[in-house]
Copies of this chain bind each other. A is one copy, B any other.
Amino acid sequence: MAQQPDTVTRILDTAEVLFAERGFAETSLRHITSKAKVNLAAVNYHFGSKKALIQAVFARYLDPFTVRFHAALDELEARHAGGVIPLEALLETMARSVLEVPAERHSLKVFMRLLGLAYSQAQGHLRRYIQEEYGSVFTRFTELVRLATPDLPDAERFWRLHFMLGTVIFTLSGLDALRDIAEKDYGERVNVRDLVRRLRPVVVAAMNAPLPEPAPAQREVG
């Protein structure tokens, strides 16, 4: 550990930005190491492999997030001792936890973009890793949402949570491109907090939307 950023830290800092910009497969170790001004072999020395580097990049965000989110849920449960936590409070708490973490590290934009990539890119190992390491806090959250929305069928709630996950990740991870359009067309420069403010009523309304009409007799589709 030196006062000048550590080699490990320099690699992580550079890698997360490049991954966020270009994706995992499209970012070579040589690109990372040259921009980070470290030797090519440093990645394999410190992390073991490129896969492990990718996971380490995620861990640096997700570890503090899960800690904070668990703590925030603890506090929320204590405040509503025994009772049901309203949906708005749950969503609010999640939003706050997500917003807090990168503030002490790097940009939320990068974090969300990485999450978006984790979903969309192949990288089966990544999805498996995230599921195994951080699935529990998400399970806890969905259980609380279940209590807050007793009228929603389980399957419907499952899908709506993922709808909203898509809304948030997609928007925030594509923020850069969209921001430019929005600024040009509407003269309004948005930042992440601004978007979260806009997202709040949309997400609440979506979760509280009326149930869909029941499925008709179905024929299979590819």
Contact = CB atoms under 8 A, between A and B. Distances in A.
Contacts of A107: 221-222
A175 to B, nearest CB: 10
Interface stretch (A4-12, A35-43, A59-67, A205-213): A205-213
A156 interface: yes
Interface string A196-212: 01111111111011111
B154 A186 contact: yes
B117 A120 contact: yes
Given A120-B117, A202-B163, A212-B201, A191 B218 contact: yes
A188 B159 CA distance: 12
Contacts of A127: 177
Contacts of A165: 170
Given A122-B21, A155-B186, A212 B191 contact: no
A33 interface: no
Given A155-B182, A163-B170, 19 more contacts: A26-B121, A106-B222, A107-B222, A109-B222, A110-B222, A119-B120, A120-B173, A158-B186, A159-B190, A160-B202, A163-B167, A165-B170, A166-B168, A166-B170, A166-B171, A198-B212, A203-B206, A205-B208, A205-B210
Interface of A: 21-23, 25-26, 102-103, 106-110, 116-117, 119-122, 127, 154-156, 158-160, 162-171, 173-174, 177-178, 181-182, 185-186, 188, 190-195, 197-206, 208-213, 215, 218, 220-222
21 contacts: A26-B121, A108-B222, A120-B121, A155-B186, A159-B171, A159-B182, A166-B168, A166-B171, A166-B174, A167-B167, A167-B170, A167-B206, A169-B170, A192-B222, A193-B218, A197-B215, A198-B212, A201-B210, A201-B211, A206-B206, A206-B209
